[in-house]
Amino acid sequence: MAVVASAPGKVLMTGGYLVLERKNAGIVLSTNARFYAIVKPLHEEIIPESWAWGWADVKLISPQMDRETMYKLSLKNLKLQSVSSSESRNPFVEYAVEYAIAAAHATFDKDKKDMLQKLLLKGLDITILGCNEFYSYRNQIEARGLPLTPESLASLPPFTSITFNAEDSIGENQKPEVAKTGLGSSAAMTTAVVASLLHYLGVVSLSSFSEDQSHGRKDDSDLDIVHVIAQTAHCIAQGKVGSGFDVSSAVFGSQRYVRFSPEVLSSAQNAGMATPLTEVIYDVLKAKWDQ
């Protein structure tokens, strides 16, 4: 069974760098541009030898980038090892996968961990897609002879490829154009991957927006878990604790934002290679997120 989760982009209306200090608040709006993550089993059945190997297969597909990356996931330390070229690696997705799986290990009892092991041994097939609004398609629009207007952007097919390369006079390909529009693509992508994996693995049970509207959402604890894991993965991937408003809006939507205390991520930032990842994520989940 496939799980699809999405997360919106953001626009910070007020606050700027001021939100880095907790006494200051900012206003952030979520957008209708969204990132989608689709998670499903990579194999229909468990490969018998995989029990002895202690590794699970993970495939990451980014159709818009025309990239497919294969990983081996260690079932002992929950770390990913790429078996593809380094150029196709995405640290935001890698940390999202590792931390989401570690969250399952950190919160499950023995019976659930046994079920988790069997689920992981079937492998993970992850596809990520971002709405066109996250990227600049200037070259494609001009190549079609269209004006640079929102209407021209809307005329492009959904999830248009962003690997539009033009061959120069000597036949060498230019690097793929990945110009972004500043809507928080990495945060939305990280959040979508975390949300889809946490739901797929059974850590949280996320409902659709229509279900929330019809039944009324009373418990945000599942969204809190998504936020903690996505925020941690995003901060570690970018190498610093940023303002965090982009991930927060990707999880909770438009809001008046006050930054969390950076100390809640100290265990993740200071963890050594010998520290089990499950312990790191357990500490992060139990920290007081005073947002």
- Helix, strand or coil for residue 220? coil
Distance CA 20, CA 244 (A): 9
Instruction: Tell me the residue range of the domain where 280 lies.
Output: 3-135+180-286
CA–CA gap between residue 250 and residue 31 (Å, rounded): 9
Measure the CA–CA gap between 74 and 81, rounded to whole angstroms: 8
Amino acid of residue 232: T
CATH of the domain at 8: 3.30.230.10
Could you report the per-residue pLDDT of 237-255, keeping only the tens digit for each? 999 999 999 999 999 999 9
In a domain? residue 141: no
DSSP H/E element including 58: strand 55-62
Q: Is 218 contained in some domain?
A: yes
Q: How many domains does the chain have?
A: 1
Domain-embedded: residue 157: no
Q: Is residue 163 part of a domain?
A: no
Q: What is the pLDDT along the chain (291 residues), one digit of tens a residue?
A: 899 999 999 999 998 889 998 889 999 999 999 999 999 999 988 877 666 678 999 999 999 988 999 999 999 999 999 998 767 789 999 999 999 999 999 999 999 999 999 999 999 999 999 999 999 898 889 989 999 999 999 999 999 998 544 444 344 545 555 788 999 999 999 999 999 999 999 999 998 755 554 455 546 899 999 999 999 999 999 999 999 999 999 999 999 999 999 999 999 998 877 789 999 999 999 999 986
Tell me the percentage of the chain whose pLDDT exceeds 70.
89
Domain presence at residue 37: yes
* Domain presence at residue 143: no
Please check whether residue 140 lies inside any domain of the structure. no
In a domain, 29, yes or no: yes
- Measuring CA to CA, which residue among 209, 210, 206, 240 is closest to residue 226? 206
**Best CA proximity match to 187, nearest among 2, 11, 41:** 11
Ordered alpha helix ranges (H), 89-131: 91-107, 110-121
The residue among 174, 291, 175, 278 whose CA lies nearest residue 223 is: 291
State the first-to-last Cα distance of the chain, in angstroms, to the nearest integer: 35
Residues 97-130 have pLDDT tens digits of 999 999 999 999 999 999 999 999 999 999 999 9
